[in-house]
Copies of this chain bind each other. A is one copy, B any other.
Amino acid sequence: MSKNIIAIDAMGGDNAPKSVIAGLAISSIRNPTVNYVIYGNKNIIAPLLKRRTNLINMTEIVHVEGLVGDDEKASKALRRAKDTSMGQAIASVSDGAANAVVSGGNSGALMAMSIFGLKRLEGISRPALAAIMPTVNGEILALDLGANIECSSQNLVDFSIMGIVFAQKVLGRPHPKFAFLNVGEEENKGKNIIHDAVKIIEGESLKLFYDGYIEGNNVNFGKIDIVVSDGFSGNIMLKTAEGTAKLCSEYLRQVFNASLLGKISYFIGRSAFLAIRKKMDPRKHNGAVLLGLNGIVVKSHGGTDSLGFAHAVDLASEMSLKGYNEAIKHQLTELKLTEIKK
């Protein structure tokens, strides 16, 4: 594949396909070398594209009548995958016609179809859902965020490798540090699967990137680049962070509305308040990636708008342009090298 082609499921998400096309228009300006193939109802999509002159030249529409329902069971969606915009977009990646797929549709269906359609990368025991979270001085990659409720030690080790390659390729950090999410920093704290994962790492060159355990209150403080956990704990962490950030915004709103001085202060400092809102804008970190498959899969939040969808497309574009999947194949061998050659 010489070109960078992103397959777009235009029919997934609350405001699809309108927010999808508007998001593509934004992302296309930031990534002018990418091409898109849009899967969905041509009769709705084509008129939306008409006004987007720059986008038209980068885009092809493939008409698909069916779509995956928001509440549709993953097993049912999987059976009729090829009749849906989501399923056809994924198939285009497995056929090699596209490098990546982006969808704002049903998460369970997207995971099931992607795992079934794209298959796991050789050497990866389970795929993982990963996303970028804000820290005080930058960003951190967190995985798994919910693809695997129960995990083995080997799963955690594989997630670490996928995270390291992501940090190197996409975040541009040549020597990233990863840590396991845990309830304490001492060696004997927490779950056995974590202790056993540490033992596996001890014998591999992966060890060079390992930075111990990290607790929930330190994740945002920029000491490491990747936080690795089972999917249950990772999901709790990500969503608690979302909820707490929302709570802080709400407190801010309440308190500055409560008095005249507060309102004046808000008026004078509104550029500062806007800057905070921008810093905390969840759309900036929209897009969770399903890592570990033969192809790039990005899940956009179903409730996001065009700006959020654009960030998800940016992520898919960057991963494609920077050759994430090629790199991971190489690194899988490197990082699992045992130091004592047999």
Contacts and interface: CB of A to CB of B under 8 A. Distances in A.
Contact of A245 (B150, B232, B244): B244
Given A217-B239, A247-B135, A268 B261 contact: yes
A262 B271 CA distance: 8
Interface string A137-159: 00000000010011000000000
Using C-beta atoms within 8 Å of the partner chain, give the interface range for chain A. Answer: 35 or more
A268 B263 CA distance: 10
A183 B220 contact: no
Contact of A268 (B149, B239, B268): B268
A220 B236 contact: no
A243 B236 CA distance: 14
Contacts of A247: 134-136, 220-221, 245
A219 B276 CA distance: 23
Interface stretch (A114-122, A203-211, A250-258): A250-258
A73 to B, nearest CB: 9
A272 B259 contact: yes
Contacts of A236: 181, 183, 216, 229, 233, 236-237, 240
A218 interface: yes
Given A216-B243, A239-B216, A232 B190 contact: yes
Contacts of A269: 256, 261-262, 264-266, 269
A136 B231 CA distance: 27
A183 B271 contact: no
B275 A255 contact: yes
Quick one: copies of this chain in the complex?
Answer: 2
A102 to B, nearest CB: 22
A199 interface: no
A240 B219 contact: yes
A278 to B, nearest CB: 9
Given A191-B149, A232-B233, A256 B272 contact: yes
A215 B239 CA distance: 7
A244 B241 CA distance: 6
Nearest to A221: B243
A136 B245 CA distance: 11
30 contacts: A136-B251, A149-B190, A191-B232, A216-B236, A216-B237, A216-B238, A216-B242, A217-B246, A218-B243, A220-B243, A220-B244, A229-B236, A244-B244, A244-B245, A244-B248, A245-B247, A245-B248, A251-B280, A252-B252, A256-B269, A256-B272, A258-B272, A258-B275, A259-B272, A261-B271, A261-B272, A265-B266, A265-B269, A265-B272, A268-B268
Interface of A: 134-136, 146, 149-150, 181, 183, 190-191, 215-221, 229, 231-233, 235-248, 250-252, 255-256, 258-259, 261-262, 264-266, 268-269, 271-273, 275-276, 279-280
